[in-house]
Structures are given as C-alpha cells and as structure tokens.
Chain A
Amino acid sequence: MSETAAQTITPPNPLAKAIPGGGPAKIDPNVLRQAEQAVEDLQGDYPSWAQKDIDSLRAAVEDAQKDPGVLPQAIAEIYKCALDLKGQGGGFGYDLITSIGDLLTKFMEEREAVSTRDFEIICAHVDAMQAVIRQDIKGDGDKIGNQIVDGLSELVLKED
C-alpha cells in the first residue's frame, strides 16, 4: 500500500446490542454501586493475595543475591512482582502498596545489574510493603504512608 493510501473503515459494531433500541443510552446508577460493592467484597481477600506476591518478590531477591547466574531472570521476576503489587494494591483499597510498587518498578526499570546497595534499596521496598500488609494499612496510610514513601524516595535519590 502506498503512503498516500490510508483507508478508513467502519467496522461492524458488536456492542450496539447493549444499547436498547439503538438510541441514546444512560447508566443505571445502581450498576456502579453494584460494581463498587463487588470490589469491596474482595478487599478482605487482598492481604493474603498480596502476601503471596510479596513472598514471590522476596524469593526473587534472594535468588538474585545467591546466584549471579540467574540475575537476569531474577531481575525480571522482581520487576514483574513489583508491577503486580503496584497494579493491584489501589484497586483493593491499599493505595500505599501501589505507591511503593511504583517506586520499586521505577527503580528496577531497564536495570541490568544489581549492586549490594541496590539490593538494600530493593529489600527496603519489600520490607515496606510487608509492613503495610502486616499492619493492614489501607488507603495512602496518611502520615505514616507519607513517611514511608518519602523515606524510600530519598533512598533511591541517594543511590542516583
């Protein structure tokens, strides 16, 4: 196809059947309430789910420390676990887990080597997430949450 031949296509719309009569649609306010309730109903399960992810994260860190041969896979696993924790925490009402996960994913982004100091920083993030779950700190953690995030950010800044 030549550069001048951009083509616009109107595809079939499989979602039209969700709009009764094909006219303007509105959202039943009960629908959002029901969906939010469904999320709330899962919040009690989250700490045990997060604990498994934290355990996996800690295991990946220990693997990386013990065996330099598995470092690339371990770094990928640390990043993946941190990304999962970041992506889930806030969804279940544990926003501080998302904030710490965000800091850790940024720290691990495109990292190929991990120094002893880097391991200390990674472990500090893991310990912080463990503390949030153990103490069941929901939301952003208020003052304690700010102190944790500021402290971890400072650690990373010192590293840079």
Chain B
Amino acid sequence: MTALPVDFAQLSVMVVDDNRHMRALICSILRALSIKKLKEVGDGEAALEEITAFQPDILITDWHMEPMDGTTLVKALRHSSVETTRYMPIIMLSGHSDTTRVREARDSGVNDFLTKPVSAKSLLARLITIIENPRPFIKTEHYFGPDRRRHDMGPPHDIAERRSGEAVAAEEAPAELSPEEVLAG
C-alpha cells in the first residue's frame, strides 16, 4: 500500500499555556501544519470550561500555570465522564526536564512529554508519534491513562500492582534513566 501524507487538516487541537507568546509559537507551528481548528486558553480551569464545547482531537498543555496547572488538568480529563475527553491524546510541554518531573507528568496520564524550548521539528515528531502509535490505556486502582511502558520511561509508581496484572506481566523499564532517556520516547 502506498504511504500517503499525514493529513493534519483533519485534526483539531486545544493549546493550554498561560504565556501568550508560547501559545503564539505553538499555534503558528500548528497552523503551518494546516491545522485550522485551534483553540487557545490560558490555564487548566479555562481548558475544562471550553473542552466539552470544543472537543479537540489533541490537547497540548503547559505544566506550570495558575490557578490550575497542567498535571491537575490532565488528571481531571482522565476522570471525565465523557469518553472522548477521558481518552484524549495529551502532549505536555514544560520547561522542567528533570526525571522526577517527567515521571510525575507521565503518571498524571499524559501521552507524551516535550521539554521546552519547542522547535517545529520536535513538536511535529511528537504529533506523528501519537498519530501513528495510538497507545492502549491502563486502568488500575491508582492510575488511568496511556500505557506508560510504551515509551520505556521507567517504572510507574504503581508498578507493583501492575506486575501482578495479567495484561502487564511483561517488560519492566530500568529503575533510573537520564532525562534524555526518559524523554527519548
């Protein structure tokens, strides 16, 4: 079968960042990809207010925002009663690059994590990854979100409960990874 170009024009994206310059950068990249259905909001609360009406295919969110930060937003979305919202692909952008923070973002339920500063190439690569490789979701007592093992980002905090689960008996990531390895995806 002949490979056809990814048709970004089909997608809608919500960008959540409290810095309008950062939103301008991200939205400019997305518009250049031909994504026309875009919504910008300034924090997690505003995103929750708008998300049902806008129903984005992808959410791109900053971490450090007031009054509601990115990880709180992600957890709220993963607990949504609306199926499309609950399973929404989410990319988190952050100036934080240390392993602990990246794992915290992952454990909140993000699909992918991108360290700022963001380039067109790095954002495009993350979009392609989530478009081409949809990840199954895992539901445990303490976690609901994309399967964290897919990116080999280290053991999730509740790995013990997952070890004993039939569906998650296989691989286990190394205990410690450098930020680069964590982010390598």
Q: Which residues of A contact B164 (CB under 8 A)?
A: 3-4, 6
Q: Could you tell me if A88 and B19 are in contact, using CB atoms closer than 8 angstroms?
A: yes
| A11–B137 CB distance below 8 A | yes
Q: Which of B37-45, B102-110, B124-132 contacts A (4 or more CB under 8 A)?
A: B124-132
Whether B147 sits at the interface, judged by CB under 8 Å, is yes
B177 lies within 8 A of chain A by Cβ? no
Residue of A nearest to B140 (CB): A6
Contact flag A39-B136 (CB < 8 Å), given A24-B3, A25-B4? no
Q: With the chains together, A46 CA to B24 CA distance in Å?
A: 11
A106 nearest CB neighbor, chain B only: B98
Are B25 and A92 touching (Cβ within 8 A)? yes
A88 and B136 contact, Cβ closer than 8 Å, known pairs A25-B5, A27-B5, A41-B28? no
**Residue B89 CB within 8 A of the other chain:** yes
A67 CB–B CB distance under 8 Å = no
Q: Which 7 A-B pairs have the closest CB atoms?
A: A6-B165, A87-B116, A90-B117, A35-B120, A11-B87, A91-B117, A87-B95
A8 and B137: CB pair below 8 A? Answer: yes
Number of interface residues of A (CB under 8 A): 55
Chain B residues with Cβ under 8 A from A125's Cβ? none
Assess whether A21 is in contact with B1, with CB atoms less than 8 Å apart. Answer: yes
Judge if B175 is at the interface, Cβ distance under 8 Å.
no
Q: Knowing that A8-B136, A35-B120 are A-B contacts, what are 15 other residue pairs whose CB atoms are under 8 Å apart, sorted by A's residue number?
A: A3-B140, A3-B161, A3-B164, A3-B165, A5-B140, A6-B167, A18-B11, A19-B132, A25-B132, A27-B6, A38-B28, A41-B28, A84-B95, A88-B116, A91-B22
Chain B residues near A87: list those with CB within 8 A: 19, 22, 93-95, 116-118
CA–CA, A53 and B10, complex, Å: 35
B residues 1-60 touching A (CB-CB < 8 Å)? 1-8, 10-11, 19, 21-22, 24-25, 28-29, 31-34, 57-58
Contact residues on B (Cβ < 8 Å of other chain), bracket: 35 or more
Distance A28 CA – B130 CA, assembled complex (angstroms) = 17
Closest to B27 in A: A38
Q: Return chain B residues, CB-CB under 8 Å to A26.
A: 3-6
Instruction: Say yes or no: is B75 at the interface (Cβ < 8 Å to chain A).
Output: no
Binary contact readout B151-185 vs A (1 if CB under 8 angstroms, 0 otherwise): 00000000011101111100000000000000000
**Contacts of A11 on B, CB cut-off 8 Å?**
83, 86-87, 134, 136-137
* A86 interface neighbour in B95, B120, B132, Cβ under 8 Å: B95
The verdict on B79 contacting chain A, using a C-beta distance below 8 Å, is no
Q: Would you call B33 and A34 a contact (CB within 8 A)?
A: yes
Is A58 among interface residues, defined by CB-CB distance under 8 A?
no
Q: By the criterion CB–CB under 8 Å, are A9 and B57 in contact? A: no
Q: Mark A20-55, 1 if CB is under 8 A from B, else 0.
A: 110111111001101111110110011001000100
Closest residue on chain B to residue A41 by CB atoms: B28
